[in-house]
Amino acid sequence: MARAQGARAQMALAFETTYGTPPASGFTRMPFASATLGAEQPLLNSELLGYGRDPLPPIKDAVTADGNVVVPIDAQGFGFWLKAAFGQPITTGADAPYTHEFRSGNWTLPSMAIETGMPEVPRFALYSGCVLDTLSWQMQRSGLLTATASLVAQGEITAASSAAGTLADLALQRFGHFNGAITRNGTALGNIVSAEITYANNLDRVETIRSDGRIDGADPSIAALTGRIEVRFADQVLVTQAINGDPCEMNFGYTLPSGESLTLVAHAVYLPRPRIEIAGPQGVQATFDWQAARDTALGRMCTVTLINGIEDY
């Protein structure tokens, strides 16, 4: 009997034309580190009395399909997750390299069909109507650079064979923490120990009464771009901004020597006034839980620019 192993697992992704209807072809093999995407249906204990101490059979509750996928931040595959988070990008360039600009504020987000396969069982689970709720990652000095995509799906269909057909493959070009940099108002921001970035669509599940127990959709509400920066306390620049309540523009970017780059620009970042603690003889650090807001001049909260060799997403 074959036993499932994560090393042999695979993931295929394609964008849907109609919500909840997986396309017949056009799937791409996606790199991923782990996935909790799945469907579950809990059981409700019977509340009925009069049949003795032993309980009556439980009743099935509603089906919930959601989970997280941990993916590498790379020059090509990460664009699929950016499209899921922000919508269709504005692409420019007559030939490679192409510039894909993702903008916040879109009211309509694309849905995806994602298939996870364990060929040794075999079990292939196809999740339709996947909409991205949050996309988050950390910047630090070392380690593997990955992002976590939180998804809300409509439902799950399992089969013994793949429904994705022939998969398109991507050239894997990973960004690393060594390739990262942070700027504030165009000037390099020093003394940064770590940073966290989270973009949230704050999806509203449309939980209507249906015979199949699925949701009717997941609608985006007010978006949020938040995070945290931990700095070695060396000057009063950030503290002064926090006290004054003024916004700044923050740029979180990665650039490969071959020319591919990924840049997230938060156009209006507000900082809270932090508590400056002296914990001992080591260096003093301060933590700022920042929030981004809509920039009145640009009319949006953030812009993500991805430069790579893919012509269109």
Per-position pLDDT tens, the chain of length 313? 578 888 899 999 999 999 999 999 999 999 999 999 999 999 999 999 999 999 999 999 988 999 999 999 999 999 999 999 999 999 999 888 999 999 999 999 999 999 999 999 999 999 999 999 999 999 999 999 999 999 999 999 999 999 999 999 999 999 999 999 999 999 998 789 999 999 999 999 999 988 888 899 999 999 999 999 999 887 888 989 999 999 999 999 999 999 999 999 999 999 999 888 888 888 888 899 999 999 999 999 999 999 999 999 9
Contact in structure between 100 and 74 (CB atoms under 8 Å):
no
What is the rounded CA–CA span in Å between residue 268 and residue 248?
5
What is the rounded CA–CA span in Å between residue 252 and residue 177?
11
Strands 203-206 and 192-200: unpaired
Neighbours of 219 (CB within 10 A): 15
Among left, alpha and beta (phi > 0; psi -120 to 50; other), residue 17 is alpha
pLDDT score at 275: 85
Quick one: how far is CA 309 from the chain centroid? 22
This prediction has a pTM of 0.93
pLDDT score at 283: 82
pLDDT score at 1: 56
Residues in the chain: 313
Strand partners, 234: none
Distance between first and last Cα of the chain: 40
What is the rounded CA–CA span in Å between residue 10 and residue 116?
6
pLDDT score at 160: 95
pLDDT score at 54: 95
pLDDT score at 308: 96
